[in-house]
Amino acid sequence: AAGPGPGPGPGAAAASWGGPGWRLPGRVLELVFSYLELRELRSCALVCKLWHRVLHGDENSEVWRSLAARCLAEEALRTDILCNVPTYKGKVRAFHHAFSTNDCSRNVYIKKNGFTLHRNPIAQSTDGARTKIGFSEGRHAWEVWWEGPLGTVAVIGIATKRAPMQCQGYVALLGSDDQSWGWNLVDNNLLHNGEVNGSFPQCNNAPKYQIGERIRVILDMEDKTLAFERGYEFLGVAFRGLPKVCLYPAVSAVYGNTEVTLVYLGKPLDG
C-alpha cells in the first residue's frame, strides 16, 4: 500500500497539500473516504494519524456503511447471515475472507450472497472450497453451518493451498492428507493425514450436529491449535502442533444441492 511520499496515490496528495500535517474536518474526510474502495482506504490510513483515526475510530461510520453497500450483496445485509458481525467494517472484512470462487471444486459454486457454497448434485464426487485469505500468524475465528443434508461425509476445518478440493467417491476429503485437518460432523471424527485422530468432542454421547447449527472455528497460529465451539459452548482443542504455514478455512461436502455458509468473525473473544 502506498504511504506518504511523492509517488501517486493518497500519500502524494497529502505531500502536495503540506504533508501529513494537512487537516480537514473529520466529517469532510469521512465523506470523501466514503467514495473510495478498500485498497484505497488502506493507503489513506497510512497518510497520517488523523486519517487513520477517521477511518478506524468508528467501525459503523459512513465510510464502512457505504463500502458495505457497494461490495456486499443485498441478501447478505438483510438476512441473518452476518448477524454475529456487529459492525459494517466487520461485514466488509467478512466478505473479503469468504469462500473463493476461484479456489473450489468445479462441482460447487458460491451463491450471490457471497458467503454460501452450493454443491451441485454430481454422483461419486467429494467437493470442497477454501476461503480467499489464509493465515500464518495471529488468532482468528469464523462460523460455519450447513443449510442442507450432511450426507455421509461433511467436514469443516483448515487446509493449505496444496490440499485438493475435489476427488472421486464419497470420502472425507478434508483431512485425507497431510495438508488438511478436519472434523467430520456426521460421525464426530477428527481427520488428518488420511487417519482418524479420535472422536470430537471428547465426551460420552457427544451430540450430533443439527442442520443450521452454527459451529465456531478458532485458529490460533500463536499456540498452533485449532478448536471448535457450538453456540456458546467451547468444545475443546481438536488439533495441536499445526505447522507454521498459511492455513485456509475450508469445508468439503458430498450431498447434492447441500449448502454451506462460512462467515469470518475476526479475532476470537476470550472468556
| pLDDT digit string, tens, across residues 53-62 | 888 889 999 9
> Could you tell me the CA-to-CA distances from 262 to 94, 220, 249 in Å, in that order?
9, 18, 9
Q: What is the pLDDT of residues 113-161, one digit of tens each?
A: 999 999 999 999 999 999 999 999 999 999 999 999 999 999 999 999 9
Q: What is the pLDDT of residue 73?
A: 94
Q: What percent of the chain has pLDDT over 90?
A: 73
Please determine, looking at this structure, whether the domain spanning 100-266 carries the CATH number 2.40.50.140.
Answer: no
Q: Please tell me whether residue 53 adopts helix, strand or coil conformation.
A: helix
The mean of the pLDDT values for the chain is 90
Question: What does the pLDDT read at residue 98?
Answer: 98
The model carries a pTM of 0.88
- Tens-place pLDDT, residues 187-235: 999 999 999 999 999 887 778 899 999 999 999 999 999 999 998 899 9
Q: Residue 254 above 70 pLDDT?
A: yes
Is the pLDDT score of 5 beyond 60? Answer: no
Burial per residue of 58-72, b for 16 or more beta-carbon CB atoms within 10 angstroms, e otherwise: bbebebbbbbbeeeb
Domain ranges, ordered by start, for the chain: 26-93, 100-266
The label of the residue with cell 462467515 reads 263
